[in-house]
């Protein structure tokens, strides 16, 4: 008599725990760690003109291997340079970006190669 009454409650409790574990597992799968630098690169539209790791526009150079030619500092200089001093001046200047963001993007690109 005692065990008969408790069984549904125990089953319900076990199902409830399974639900928590499944939800946690799905949440962990759904939230891959996105590199903040990559988020910036997406938000700033770099891929509108540049290919990065196989995706992006072909208006300018592929940046995937840029780290083999430029240092992180040189990439940062490119990002903040005055467009009128460049050969093809249509890359916008990102000089108004916070210094931390500039460093983040430059380091990310430098480390890609």
Shortest Å, Cβ 20 to ligand HEC: 41
Judged by CB under 6 A, the chain residues 93 through 112 that form the site for ligand HEC are: 94, 105, 109
Query: Which residue lies nearer to ligand HEC by CB, 23 or 113?
Result: 113
Q: Spell out the residues 6+ positions from residue 30 whose beta carbon is closer than 8 angstroms to its own.
A: none
Nearer to ligand HEC, 17 or 62 (CB): 62
Choose which of 60, 93, 103, 107 interacts with ligand HEC (CB under 6 A).
60
Question: Which secondary structure element, helix H or strand E, spans residue 72, and what is its range?
Answer: helix 72-80
Does 49 bind ligand HEC (CB under 6 A)? Our answer is: yes
Instruction: Give yes or no for residue 61 binding ligand HEC (CB under 6 A).
Output: yes
CA nearest neighbour of 105 among 69, 86, 78: 78
Residue 91 to residue 63: CA distance in whole angstroms: 13
Other beta carbons within 10 angstroms of residue 79's beta carbon come to 21
């Amino acid at each position: 008599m005692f065990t008969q009454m408790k069984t549904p409650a125990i089953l319900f409790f076990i199902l409830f725990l399974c639900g928590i574990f499944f939800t946690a597992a799905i949440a962990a799968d759904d939230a891959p760690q996105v590199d903040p630098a990559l988020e910036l690169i997406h938000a700033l539209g770099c891929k509108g003109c540049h290919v990065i790791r196989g995706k992006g526009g072909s208006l300018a150079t592929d940046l995937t291997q840029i780290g083999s030619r430029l240092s992180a500092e040189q990439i940062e200089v490119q990002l903040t340079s005055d467009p009128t001093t460049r050969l093809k001046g249509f890359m916008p200047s990102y000089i108004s970006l916070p210094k931390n963001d500039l460093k983040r993007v430059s380091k990310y690109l430098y480390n890609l190669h």
